[in-house]
Amino acid sequence: MLKKWTKTRIAPTPSGFLHIGNIMSFLITVSLARIHGSKILLRIDDLDKARTKPAYVQDIFDTLDFLEIPYDEGPQNISDLNNTYTQFCRMPHYQAALEWLMEENRLFACDCSRKKVFRHNDRGIYPGLCLGKNLSLQKDQVNWRLVTDHSKAITVIDYPDKPSTHLLPEKMQHFVVRTKNQLPAYQLASLVDDLFFGVDFVVRGGDLWESTLAQLYLSGLFPANNFQKTVFFHHPLIYHNNSKLSKSAGATSIRYMRKKGMGKKDIYRLIGKHLQFEEQTNGLDDFRKNFLQKLT
């Protein structure tokens, strides 16, 4: 009998127009959700107001509708997002998580700029410059960073049921949980959102492997929760000119392709080609069949 999970999610960030890499991830999510009986949540990560534009938000709804990608829970339009599902509605939950970490003495303030970090480490690895400075968490323009234990083992359950043990990678040592503009950082917000909505199956690109480890580490600091039992599927990325796709690369966006006259079948076929499916992919049913065939 196939293992069943309660809920998974597709979680786009409206910082640009969706590209084929985003869509491939959504399609993999839907394919695995349907075979394992999981509900699908649409979670739009809109905390970064400086990069969020209404056109990008509308593009999410338009693209999902155009490609007939289904979901079971979440906003149906911009008004629904703003009234009910925006991350700003969940600010009390993020704040409660931050207060817990503060009360448990898990945080320290850091006033280092990105430029300063790179001066000390050319890979941008934070070297703990403010760890012993005892800066006030109430100081203006400071990040709140997590005091991390680099020797603590982290267990990841890889799809379908393969536990493996890892250490927190260098890049995630003392990672930021609240930014200088006093908003919850991605790792904390994503974890709190998954707990809030009851997500127990996460499909994401392989480039977010380190985020998986950071979020599992963070979940272990909070009172009893089920995030440690979450199953993860990390899929390969689509590359363009030897670089992973970016929302700033307009030529790979679904919006650009549609303006150039590409239809739904054309886009599905293009994604199927990138994944090297043996059979042609004309729509969601074809994608699910071809993906599951390749997976097994």
Rounded CA-CA distance 35/231 in Å is 15
The pLDDT of 249-256, averaged and rounded, is: 83
Query: pLDDT: is 176 or 242 the higher one?
Result: 176
**146, burial (CB in 10 Å: exposed 0-12, middle 13-18, buried 19+):** buried
Report CA torsion sign: 223, 226, 231, 232: negative
Q: What would the pLDDT profile of 33-89 be if each residue is shown by its tens digit? A: 999 999 999 999 999 999 999 999 999 999 999 999 999 999 999 999 999 999 999
- Per-residue pLDDT of 111-120, as tens digits, reads 999 999 999 9
| pLDDT exceeds 80 at position 249 | no
pLDDT at 102: 98
Rounded average pLDDT over 199-225: 97
Q: Is pLDDT of 226 > 60?
A: yes
Residue-range domains of the chain with CATH: 7-104+193-208+229-295 (3.40.50.620)
What pLDDT is stored for residue 241 in this prediction? 60
Query: What is the average pLDDT value for the chain, to the nearest integer?
Result: 95
Q: Give the pLDDT of residue 247.
A: 60
Going by pLDDT thresholds of 50, 70 and 90, the confidence category of residue 242 is low
Percent of the chain at pLDDT > 70 equals 96
Q: How confident is the model at residue 238 (pLDDT cuts 50, 70, 90)?
A: confident
Residue 245 confidence (pLDDT) = 63
> Per-residue b/e over 123-144, b at no fewer than 16 CB within 10 Å?
eebbebebeeeeeeeeeeebbb
Which residue in the block uniquely carries the two structure tokens 């999970």?
5
Asked whether the predicted pLDDT for residue 219 surpasses 60, the reply is yes
How does residue 284 score in pLDDT terms, banded at 50, 70 and 90?
very high
What is the structure's pLDDT at 292?
Answer: 93
pLDDT of residue 5: 94
Region of residue 105 (left: phi > 0; alpha: psi -120 to 50; beta: else): left
Closest to 108 (Cα-Cα) out of 136, 139, 141? 136
Residue 243 has a pLDDT of: 55
Position 147 pLDDT exceeds 80: yes
Q: In this model, does residue 296 exceed pLDDT 90?
A: no
Report CA torsion sign: 287, 42, 12, 16.
positive
